Structure 1
Amino acid sequence: MQKGKKKRIQKKRTKAVIRENLQLYGLMLPVLVLIVVFCYGPMFGLIIAFQDYLPGAPFFGGNVQWVGLDHFQRFIEGKYFGRLIKNTLVLSGLNLLFGFTAPILFALLIDQIKRLKLKKFAQTASYMPYFISTVVVAGMVLSFIDEGGMVTNFLTNVFGLPNKNWRNEALAFPTIYTITNVWKGFGFGSILYISSIASIDQSQYESAKIDGANRWHQCRYITLPGIKNIIAINLILAIGGILGTNSDLILLLYSPATYDVADVIGTYTYRLGIISGEYSYTAAAGLFMSAIGFVLTFIANKISNKMTGFGLW
């Protein structure tokens, strides 16, 4: 009898919570529908990774040729596999090192600006590159690093470097890609940190000042601990996506001369899948990359929970 009574009470509480938050659920519904339609729905197409799929053919039927893990084996044993993994990890690692820390450092610097107009101007100026199309950004960068370009002339006049097209220099590509990626995204990425810093109780800073703490001490012992949960969650997501480099930007910046250092899994699957039409093979490569990303996310979440007490789950 007591169990039945507890279940009835629990049902009443659940119904009450649903009634109280009905408007919030209504606001969430369109987003959930979009996620299901455009994120989870297309996942059914991953089945072609285990087939020799022909465009227009049904996923199931008598003419479907199932190949099991052949495409995965072909990808792993391919002559470009080592290069792709290396380039992906190097470029993603550079982006993780600089692209992840730059928004945090920028948010901390913005917090130290006391003049409101200057703070708003700095924030607005930093957000603008994010809203510029990647195609436009890549075009600007290529014009700057081309022979006779603004950056090329600066490097020649100041550092004595040769005046040449740096796009075709393999050693320069990681630097070009990292700087472009960080410049485009650090301002927008700092929004979450800036808002988190603004929510910290100001009385803590006042107490710290009374105790003689300078700005560095306030940042170290109040600001950073106050945003460590946001940092932990973003770091987990960044580590999980370490194999998902900004392929769009790389496609626009690289050339055959820089394939050895610039060709990543995303660009490789684009060339073979979209251009060459090997849909099953590239679907297998993409699924392989996603599986590793999930494992990395799971491991990073476990480590974050143990070290900071925060995680995605």
Structure 2
Amino acid sequence: MTLRTKWSKGKILFAMFIPCLLYYLIFKYLPIFGIVVAFKNYSLYRGVWASDWVGLKYFRLFFSGDDLWLLLRNTFLLGFYNLVFGFAAPIVLALLLNEMRLRVFKRFVQTVSYLPHFISNVVVASMVIVFLSPTGGLLNRMLESLGIGSVNFMADPSWFRSIYVLSEIWQHVGWESIIYLAALTAIDPALYEAAGIDGANRWQKIRSITLPGISPTIIILFILKVGSMIEIGFEKVYLLSNPATYASADILSTYVYRTAMVNGNFSYGAAIDLFTAVVSFVFIYSANLLSRRITGNSLW
């Protein structure tokens, strides 16, 4: 089939793909040329190309700094906890929804679980702060009613990771379960009927039919999740953190923001951001390679 024939048959699909292509070209690929800032002493007045080259100066500065290991530890642990608990939650929700037989209740649960995804991070962070407020917060009121003193959760570094991960699960579990529900529809119902004839109960059907049926989807999404593990979303971390919780809340993205946007050291911030991108690429490549060797499923 020639290229002209392919175009004539799929021109509508190609036309629908153009906005997506333009989005990635403009907002994902063109900005890549900005990494040159990481190797220059960038000045707003002189511009990118007129600024002096400094080579690996800012990378050496970052690697020799006192904040390196704290930032790496906080970023990795926050991403790891979010991966361990946040990745499994939508799978469990999809399995539970798939087992529901009352359609009205199933649709109600789906709607309620999807809605938080459409709430902005600013609103979610505000809700969390109000809910956990030491003066009038609902959780602290419950603790006081039980005879336990109020706890200033938002000023205690030991609580930050739990608060972030739980808020992420609440906000995105319903939306992320959609793709697993779609994968479940591809499983042949005859397999369940045959298992039922053989005397299998619901748990045995889930373990022997459902989970193996959606395992390729789980593996692909897990690889993507691993790749983004170190690139924790900036907005919510920044909104929930404060100087009192920097010991556990200060991650690479928030440090880059303070370095580049607050302090005006754009080259240093670009160098750290480039380092983060390289580490993320190593993570996703390693996860993909490991998955291909163990399970035979991979992104490429």
- The two structures have a TM-score, normalised by structure 1, of 0.92
Ranges in structure 2 where 5+ consecutive residues have no aligned partner: none
Deviation of 1:89 after TM superposition, in Å, equals 0.7
- Identity of aligned pairs, percent? 38
Counterpart Cα distance in 2 of 1:276 and 1:38: 25
Deviation of 1:247 after TM superposition, in Å, equals 1.9
| Match of residue 145 from structure 2 | 157
Counterpart Cα distance in 2 of 1:13 and 1:211: 51
Cα deviation per residue 1:6-28 (whole Å; 9 max; x = unaligned)? xxxxxx54433332222211111
Cα deviation per residue 1:173-222 (whole Å; 9 max; x = unaligned)? 11111111111111111010011112211111111111111111111111
Structure 2 residue 56 is matched with structure 1 residue 69: yes
| Match of residue 271 from structure 2 | 284
| Match of residue 254 from structure 1 | 241
- Which residue, 10, 29, 34 being the options, matches 2:23? 34
Structure 2 residue 116 is matched with structure 1 residue 126: no
Equivalent position amino acid for 1:288 in 2: F
- Which residue, 43, 49, 70 being the options, matches 1:54? 43
| Match of residue 225 from structure 2 | 238
| Match of residue 4 from structure 1 | none
Equivalent position amino acid for 1:230 in 2: T
Equivalent position amino acid for 1:274 in 2: M
- In the TM superposition, 1:187-206 aligns within 5 A as 187-206=174-193
Deviation of 1:277 after TM superposition, in Å, equals 0.8
SS state at 2:298 partner: coil
Counterpart Cα distance in 2 of 1:309 and 1:100: 21
Counterpart Cα distance in 1 of 2:82 and 2:144: 26
| Match of residue 10 from structure 2 | 21
| Match of residue 83 from structure 1 | 70
- The two structures have a TM-score, normalised by structure 2, of 0.96
Counterpart Cα distance in 2 of 1:57 and 1:186: 47
Structure 2 residue 178 is matched with structure 1 residue 178: no
The structure that has the greater radius of gyration is: 1
Structure 2 residue 215 is matched with structure 1 residue 221: no
Deviation of 1:56 after TM superposition, in Å, equals 4.4
Equivalent position amino acid for 2:145 in 1: N
Counterpart Cα distance in 1 of 2:148 and 2:297: 47
Counterpart Cα distance in 1 of 2:80 and 2:65: 23
Equivalent position amino acid for 2:184 in 1: I
Equivalent position amino acid for 1:117 in 2: V
SS state at 1:21 partner: helix
Counterpart Cα distance in 2 of 1:57 and 1:34: 29
SS state at 2:128 partner: helix
Ranges in structure 1 where 5+ consecutive residues have no aligned partner: 1-11
| Match of residue 145 from structure 1 | 132
Cα deviation per residue 1:40-89 (whole Å; 9 max; x = unaligned)? 0111111100000012433223xx21011111111111111110000001
Two-structure CA RMSD over aligned residues (Å): 1.3
Equivalent position amino acid for 1:24 in 2: L
Deviation of 1:246 after TM superposition, in Å, equals 2.1
